Chains A and B, each alone.
Chain A
Amino acid sequence: MLDWISTFLILAGVAFFVSGTIGLLRLPDLYCRLHALTKSDNLGHGLLILGLMLRSDDLLTALKLLLIWILVLTASAAASQLIAQYSGRS
């Protein structure tokens, strides 16, 4: 049962990565692409990591995975702000 939930979560996460990449290819300008990118960062990683946490052997690995997600969340928020700011300035 847990296995199935985990597989579902991982596949859903991968689907967000796919849609993020499609957004990067198809959306008209930089700000729209930023929007697509942050979706795949936040939700794609969130679902993927949640799925992998269900499979992890020990608590330490699970916590490390959670830390990576929080890191990616914060880092991608900061990075997309910086990129938007930069392109607005120039």
Chain B
Amino acid sequence: MPDVLMLACVVMAATLVVGLVPMVRSTSSVERMLTAQLLGTNGVGLILLLAQILDMPALVDVALVLALLAVIAVVAFTRRSGGSERA
């Protein structure tokens, strides 16, 4: 039943847009990074659903790459605290 999957897809996209509201309105960069993290995992789920609906197994690879790389931005973000790590 592709219709139910499609519905799940639309709901996921809706949560993604709703999740953007704190991202756009927040003033702290930690909160923004946190929301970006949610966006990443949400996006992985959405792409997996799309892979099933569109019947494109290649999209599973896209989700894999996204899951591998979404964490790197978080690591890069937390790697510095006000320049204290500078030599």
Would A and B touch once assembled, by the CB under 8 A criterion? yes
Number of A-B contacts (CB under 8 A): 118
Residue numbers in A under 8 Å from B18 (CB-CB): 21, 25
Interface size on B, residues (CB 8 A): 40
Chain A 1-42 per-residue mask, 1 if CB under 8 angstroms from chain B, else 0: 001000100110110011011001100001001100100110
CB of B32, distance to nearest CB on chain A (Å): 11
Chain B contact surface mostly: helix
Residues in A whose Cβ lies below 8 Å from that of B45: 13-14, 17, 44-45, 48
Give residues in B with beta carbon < 8 Å to A: 1, 4-5, 8, 11-12, 15, 18-19, 21-22, 30-31, 33-35, 37-38, 41-42, 44-45, 48-49, 52, 57, 60-61, 63-64, 67-68, 70-71, 74-75, 77-78, 81-82
